[in-house]
Amino acid sequence: MKQPEHQPPIDLRQPELFLNRDLSLLEFNQRVLAQAQDEHNPLLERLRYLAICTTNLDEFFEIRAAGLRQQVVAGVTRPPGPDGNSPREVLQAISTKAHELVDEQYRTLNEMILPALAAEGIQVVARDQWNEDQAAWVRKHFRRDVQPVLTPMAIDPAHPFPRIVNKSLTFLISLQGKDAFGRNDGLAALNVPRSLPRVIPLPEEVATEPNSFVLLSSVIHAHVDELFPGMEVRGCYQFRVTRNSDLWVEEEEVDDLLHALEGELPRRNYGDAVRLEVADNCPVEMTEFLLDQFSLGEQDLYQVNGPVNLHRLAGLIDLVERPDLRFRSFVPGWPEGLEQGADMFAALGERDLLVHHPYQSFQPVVDLVRQAAADPNVLAIKQTLYRTGEHSSVVEALIDSAEAGKEVTAVVELRARFDERANIDLAHRLQAAGVNVVYGIVGYKTHAKMLLVVRREGRRLRRYAHLGTGNYHPGTARTYTDFGLLTSDPVLCEDVHQLFLQMTGMGKVRRLKKLLQAPFTLHKTLVEMVDAEAEAARAGRPAAIRAKMNSLTEPEIAIALYRASQAGVSIDLIVRGACCLRPGIPGVSENIRVRSIIGRFLEHHRVFHFHAGGEDRVLCSSADFMSRNFFRRVECCFPVEDPKLKKRVLREGLDLPLKDNLQSWLMQADGSYARVHPARARDRASQRELLTLLADFSDPQVEPDRRKLGRLDREVRAGERLRVKPAGRKVEGKRGASRSKHERG
């Protein structure tokens, strides 16, 4: 709504209009945990969500909390974000929220997940529940398969407290008595090797349920006294320390980034401690001892009622053969009009193709690279590689191409967080095969997802390209939602060519005709497009913005969206994770709605839609609305211009998610989220509907669902347009009516 003329303009930079990024991330993990609590999800998948919440929290402490802690130690008081909170204030708020989240995790495990598993004949048998036969089998297993691998470490003046590896399960053991060397009562530490499985199936002859398991931690705890003959074990306590895992390399001061990172990687396991987790049976004197060893305070201590690493329980999921307790399996669909095994060059010569992962197969992208490798007319292949996975068919095709004598260039981002080792190994493999390997640009991560193939056709050279919102990783293509555009558009392919020249060579910023690139044109152009919608609304013309992304934390684009909202622009944002913008503030953002979708797949694609005077500009990108994406990364944002494909992106990427009333959460002005409920409307789960529309199910039971969705298919294929409203008027029509009934959460 426009500001009344007589009121002074609102300062859109005031800290009260922004949420803290780190606290918003913890809110995201709260939504993930809610999936573990949701009885509508299959039981084993609920356990998986619980494990995901744990690993997310681990990474949060390793990177985000660790960085804030460094700032506090360095005496930094300047707020790290637009919300105005100092590093110390943010750390304190993190501690409060994270403790609540961890307590809820273990309540979910003990009161919901484990009882539900037991009801299905899946039992994690605690030490005090072992019967005589089970105890005998466990003892034998310990002596045969566990004890030979263990190395207890005494703690005394000659043996100081050992270096504890980041996130490793360790026992602190209190001992009484005198050992062979005359040493009296003391302490010992026992690290649990990561080579040992954490979840151990009990054999059928001793199991009391169809699926019975014991935890490695229980096995060791029950027999730890065997490691200290003649001594009395007075206490045995699990703990785990989380350390700063962010790598730091002064790129401008090193001659070889690859070797510098190789040297830095081992230090990741021994960075400064940021969090201590202990079992809740650990006495005060022991927790104080551990806190002192790791230079941590009480606010960094997390006492838990269960295993100190819930992520390890995920090992149970693959050991249980119960398809009925998992999400229904499916086969990714195939792009309409493209036969499997078809000539990709012939197909792309006729029209552009859009693939929507994981609902549709990643194979067309692989086929393009493989066919390029085998085609004698292909002269060159260029590709960016950020995360590829251990066994990547795309990488194998690049190697085959280089060995076949083609000119192959790979821009490998060595600094993809937690994939540095894998990418260093990848770079070595590619170089050994004769690939030209480039590590990107000093000071900027290469995050763009681009593939370019140069092929001789008659007397001319023709280019083919793939542009995506996600990585060239067949594994994540099965679990992350992403769009990929395959094209032979000469202008678009020339832009991709220019971008590769910019990354591998040197020179001024190259002028691109269709692509937007970070760090040069993307941020500026997006702000201009938002401002153009605001100007249209002020002039009384239709104006609207819809956008989908992983995170929205960059303040200038948030301020531009505030201005557009004030002008009367209808704005719908789908932000999976952190969002620093506050929706629904009178006079500032009452025309902005923010929702988050948490479902079976990780919502990962970035889609931006501007009304643009009826032109309906649709863009897909590798970049989120974050400072790092706009200013410290090489990113690519590409238009979708083909009318049919544009309609698909709008329908699948925005229309259906905005109608979701089962897996959708509405953001409130205070940064909390309220789950959307269907009320009297029919259930709408966007991921489920996209699976039904695009994928193939081997289960015949899905066919009635497919028929039931026939009406939906007709509705969305009719081409739902972006709803717009004149400036200064409230949103009307079906969406406005349904919000009041069904989106209050």
Q: How many residues does the chain have?
A: 745
Flag whether 302 is marked binding.
no
Whether 387 has a binding-site annotation, put simply, is yes
Structure tokens at 560: 């531009």
At 52, is the secondary structure helix, strand, or coil?
helix
Which stretch of DSSP H or E encloses residue 463?
strand 460-468
The residue from 447, 497, 609, 611 that is catalytic is 447
**HSE-CB for 498 with a 13 A CA cutoff:** 18
* Rounded Cα gap, residues 611 and 530, in angstroms: 10
642: which DSSP letter? Answer: S
Tokens matching residue 294: 């790791």
Q: Is 13 annotated as a binding residue?
A: no
472 neighbors 449 (Cβ within 8 angstroms):
yes
DSSP state of 55: H
Cβ atoms 123, 213 nearer than 8 A = yes
Burial of 90 (0-12, 13-18, 19+ CB in 10 A): buried
Q: Annotated binding residue at 6?
A: no
> What whole-number distance in Å separates Cα of residue 395 and Cα of residue 423?
11
Using CA atoms, how far apart are residues 101 and 114, in angstroms rounded to an integer? 18
447 classed as catalytic: yes
The torsion angles phi and psi of 687, rounded to 5 degrees, stand at -65, -40
- Tokens coding 565: 């909202």
State how far the Cα of 367 lies from the Cα of 341, in Å rounded to an integer: 8
Six token digits for residue 363: 């194979």
Q: SS3 sequence, 575-629?
A: ECCCECECCCCCCCCCCEEEEEECCCCEECCEEEEECHHHCCEEEEECCCECHHH
Identify which of 154, 162, 168 has the alpha carbon closest to the alpha carbon of residue 294: 162
Please tell me the number of Cα atoms within 13 Å of 212 on its side-chain side: 18
| Long-range contact set of residues 612-615: C-beta below 8 Å, sequence gap at least 24 | 612/529, 612/532, 612/533, 613/536, 613/541, 613/542, 614/542
Residue 451: beta bridge partners? 383, 466
What is the DSSP secondary-structure string of 499-550? HHHHHHS--SPPP-SS-EEETTTHHHHHHHHHHHHHHHHHTT--BEEEEEES
Query: For residue 618, how many other CB atoms are within 10 A of its CB?
Result: 24
309 annotated among ligand-binding-site residues: no
497 is in an annotated binding site: no
The residues annotated as belonging to the active site are 447
Mark the binding-site residues for Mg(2+), compressed into ranges.
387, 417
Mark the binding-site residues, compressed into ranges.
56, 387, 417, 480, 576, 604
